[in-house]
Amino acid sequence: MATFIIFVSLIVGGFTFIILRISISCMFWFSKKPNDKLYVFKTQFPYYMIVLIGLSLIVIIKLDFTYSSLYYFLSTYFLALLIWNYKLKHCKRKYSTVKESIEQSQPKLP
Amino acid sequence: MKKLALFISALLFSTFFYDQSIGLNLFLFSILTVAILFINNQSNFKNRKTLIYSTVYLITGLTIFFHNSTLSIIANLVAFFTLIGHLSETKSSIYVNWLNGLYTTIAGFFHRNFANKETKITVEAQEDKEPIDYFHWAKIILIPAVILIAFIALYKEGNPVFSNIIEKIDFSFINIRWILVAGLGYYLFNNIYAPIEVEPATELDLKTENSLHKTDTFSIPKLKQENQLGVILISLLNALIVLYLITDVAFLTSELDLRASVFSAQVHNGINALIASIVIAIMILLYVFRGNLNFYEQNNILKRLAYTWIILNILLVFSITFKNSQYIYYFGLTYKRIGVLVYLILATIGLVTTLLKIGAIKNNWYLFRVNTQAAFIILIVSSTVNWDYHITNYNFNYAKSMDFNYLYNLSNNNTLLLNEQLASKTLDEDSIQLIKNKYNDYVYKLRTNNWQELQYDFFKLSTK
């Protein structure tokens, strides 16, 4: 039974992590200035967290405040914060915008 | 000092809410929140608006103690976000306060940490701090702990006296969930003690004025055409609404003793349609007076027609209020019927503010700001009323007929009143039994509640 619980937790946790990681990356990809961390943090992070909490609360209310739902969404919330923290502090990758890639491929015409 | 206050608040938070239902605890939490905010934002508390929002927040907390209803809990939550958002930026609009309040509650601590660090890096105002070596700390804590546990296990086997001492150590008094709730409380207070703002939204709000200005696209021939269209449209709508009101008055005066089914259909279908018509009316006026037409010199007729249309729409609101009141008189109060009255108050405010917008040449943001403020006031005022008690009281004593099942299924706020009615009203046996069961359950709940869940009804019961 314990093995089954650990197995299910790993699958659910892994799936949640992937969803959060992709959605947070999308915040960077679709930002006007994807390489400006402070800009992304100020313009995208507040709305991302508000929407995440809003959706979590809807599901928690629908599930009648069961302990499992509370624990799951609390973990999701802190996991999202950790991923944002990682992306904002450690991620060195430079994103290129469509505009930049077009400009780079064009020769400088007279 | 600040850390100590947060730590004590976290312990109190867990004491108030761990394994408790809502009652006195939410009021105590409101007091605690205001105290924490006051300690950390003393200069803001000299502002009159801050004091008003704090008082409103405390009042909504107190209403939960007096009558624990969903509406009063929602009002308390909204007042909480409003107060925190207001402290983050005292000059912003109320809807931005809600956004800032919500954001502060969710991620205040994280925002402050990241934003401050980034500012420090860019300004280079501080000397480089040595980074915390978490791996080293983990080693210091975990490795000795594991080795210590292993040695305790070994020594236990070698000496029975030592084994007895170890076995007598009992950690069962530690409640992990209680500690977890305290941790959450600490995190919550850490988030809110220094409110933050959603910068883009707050900046945009502070930049946006209430007044309209003439734009570069000001063109007399175009505006003349727009003015003509507006005059024709609003004249026809005025004529239509006058005709409607005349027929409505004729209908109301001729058929006062309507059958229940007819009246119900009339009110339900009619009110929904009229509600939609008022919203559309406001939208049409906002569209017509959206820009340069406000500055067109020959727009006097259009403005007068718009004022007339607004006043006629207000008359329409009175007509709906009359129908709804008749319905309430014959068939009793319900939440839906009260909801219609609340909507009518909001619609009247919307119409009056539209009139002011056109008269004083204001923009749509002005309308949005004033109306959200009005909605907030109505929410707070309505949360202070014990609706279940008043619905029951009215339906038992004043309405021409009543639906007992509806009253029985309301929350416990009407239970004591229902029990009182047993002495004065004649009810069938089933209803009497249902009321007695509800009363006994409620009395048992009140008497077994912890001090955190205390409600005003408990004292009412004790004085009997």
- Cβ neighbours of residue B331 closer than 8 Å, sequence gap 6 or more: B260, B263, B264, B399, B400, B401, B402, B403
Å between A87 CA and nearest CA of chain B: 12
- What residues in chain A have their Cβ under 8 A from chain B's Cβ atoms? 37-38, 41-43, 45-47, 49-50, 53, 74, 81, 84-85, 88-89
Each residue of B93-135: pLDDT tens digit?
Answer: 999 999 999 999 999 999 988 877 666 665 555 555 566 777 7
Residues of chain B with pLDDT under 50: none
Return the pLDDT at B122: 58
Contact A46 B118 (CB under 8 A): no
- Give the number of A-B residue pairs with CB atoms closer than 8 Å: 36
Can you give the residue ranges of every domain in chain B? 1-126+135-210, 220-362, 387-463
Full domain range(s) for residue A70: 2-90
- Cβ neighbours of residue B229 closer than 8 Å, sequence gap 6 or more: none
Return the pLDDT at B127: 55
Contact B103 A50 (CB under 8 A): yes
How many other CB atoms are there within 10 angstroms of residue B191's CB atom? 21
Å between B261 CA and nearest CA of chain A: 35
Q: Chain B residue with minimal CA distance to A86?
A: B114
DSSP label of B131: P
- Residue B406 host element (H or E): helix B404-408
3 state DSSP class of B196 = coil
Number of domains present in the structure of chain A: 1
Is A100 within the bounds of a domain? Answer: no
* C-alpha to C-alpha distance for B13 and B274, rounded to whole angstroms: 47
Each residue of A82-106: pLDDT tens digit?
Answer: 999 988 887 666 665 555 555 555 5
Residues of A in contact with B114 (CB under 8 A): 41, 85, 88-89
CA trace torsion B263, B269, B274, B279 (10° rounding): 150
Partner-chain residue, chosen from A50, A74, A85, that has the shortest CB–CB distance to B102: A50
Helix then strand then coil, % of chain B, to nearest 5: 80, 0, 20
- Cβ neighbours of residue B241 closer than 8 Å, sequence gap 6 or more: B309, B312, B313, B316
A contact test, residue of B19, B99, B103 with most A CBs within 10 A: B103
Contact B114 A85 (CB under 8 A): yes
Q: Is the pTM of this model over 0.90?
A: no
Contact A35, A23 (CB under 8 A): no
Residues of B in contact with A88 (CB under 8 A): 114
Is A35 within the bounds of a domain? Answer: yes
Return the pLDDT at B431: 87
Partner-chain residue, chosen from A43, A53, A74, that has the shortest CB–CB distance to B200: A43
Residues of A in contact with B102 (CB under 8 A): 50, 53
Q: Chain A residue with minimal CA distance to B116?
A: A38
Residues of B in contact with A53 (CB under 8 A): 102, 106
How many other CB atoms are there within 10 angstroms of residue A2's CB atom? 6
Partner-chain residue, chosen from A46, A84, A88, that has the shortest CB–CB distance to B198: A46
Is A68 within the bounds of a domain? Answer: yes
Q: Chain A residue with minimal CA distance to B197?
A: A46
Return the pLDDT at B262: 66
* C-alpha to C-alpha distance for B324 and B330, rounded to whole angstroms: 10
Residues of A in contact with B108 (CB under 8 A): none
Q: How far, CA to CA in Å, does B224 sit from each of B216, B232, B424?
A: 16, 12, 70
Rounded to 5°, angle at Cα A21 from A16 and A25: 150
Establish if B115 touches chain A: CB-CB under 8 angstroms.
yes
Establish if B114 touches chain A: CB-CB under 8 angstroms.
yes
DSSP label of B299: -
Å between B108 CA and nearest CA of chain A: 10
Return the pLDDT at B387: 94
Q: Chain A residue with minimal CA distance to B99?
A: A50
Cα B454 to the center of its chain, rounded Å: 23
From first CA to last CA, the distance across chain B in angstroms is 46
Å between B132 CA and nearest CA of chain A: 14
* C-alpha to C-alpha distance for B107 and A50, rounded to whole angstroms: 9
- Residue whose C-alpha is closest to residue B244's, from B262, B282, B283, B270: B270
Residues of A in contact with B115 (CB under 8 A): 38, 41-42
Partner-chain residue, chosen from A42, A49, A89, that has the shortest CB–CB distance to B107: A49
* C-alpha to C-alpha distance for B415 and B392, rounded to whole angstroms: 9
Is A95 within the bounds of a domain? Answer: no
Each residue of B159-176: pLDDT tens digit?
Answer: 888 888 888 887 777 788
Return the pLDDT at B202: 93
- B 64-103 residues with CB < 8 A to A: 99, 102-103
* C-alpha to C-alpha distance for B280 and B269, rounded to whole angstroms: 17
The 3-state secondary structure of A10-51 reads: HHHHHHHHHHHHHHHHHHHHCCCCCCCHHHHHHHCHHHHHHH
Residues of B in contact with A43 (CB under 8 A): 200
Q: Chain A residue with minimal CA distance to B201?
A: A43
The values of phi and psi at residue A7, to 5°, are -60, -50
Partner-chain residue, chosen from A49, A74, A85, that has the shortest CB–CB distance to B106: A49
Q: Chain B residue with minimal CA distance to A42?
A: B199
Residue B211 tokens, joined: 């007044």
- Cβ neighbours of residue A23 closer than 8 Å, sequence gap 6 or more: A48
Partner-chain residue, chosen from A53, A74, A88, that has the shortest CB–CB distance to B106: A53
Return the pLDDT at B400: 85
More confident residue, A4 or B202: B202
Each residue of A24-81: pLDDT tens digit?
Answer: 999 988 888 888 888 889 999 999 999 999 999 999 999 998 989 999 999 999 999 9
How many other CB atoms are there within 10 angstroms of residue B464's CB atom? 5
Is A43 within the bounds of a domain? Answer: yes
Q: Chain B residue with minimal CA distance to A52?
A: B106
Residues of B in contact with A81 (CB under 8 A): 107, 110
What is the per-residue DSSP string for B13-54?
A: HHHHHTT--SSHHHHHHHHHHHHHHHHH-TTGGGSHHHHHHH
Instruction: Give the CA count within 13 Å in the CB-facing half-sphere of B329.
Output: 10
Å between B285 CA and nearest CA of chain A: 32
Instruction: Give the CA count within 13 Å in the CB-facing half-sphere of B295.
Output: 15
Is A99 within the bounds of a domain? Answer: no
A contact test, residue of B73, B99, B106 with most A CBs within 10 A: B106
Q: B303-342 in b/e burial notation, b at 16+ Cβ within 10 A?
A: bebbebbbebbbebbebbeebbebbbeebbbbeebbebbe
ipTM, 2 decimals? 0.83
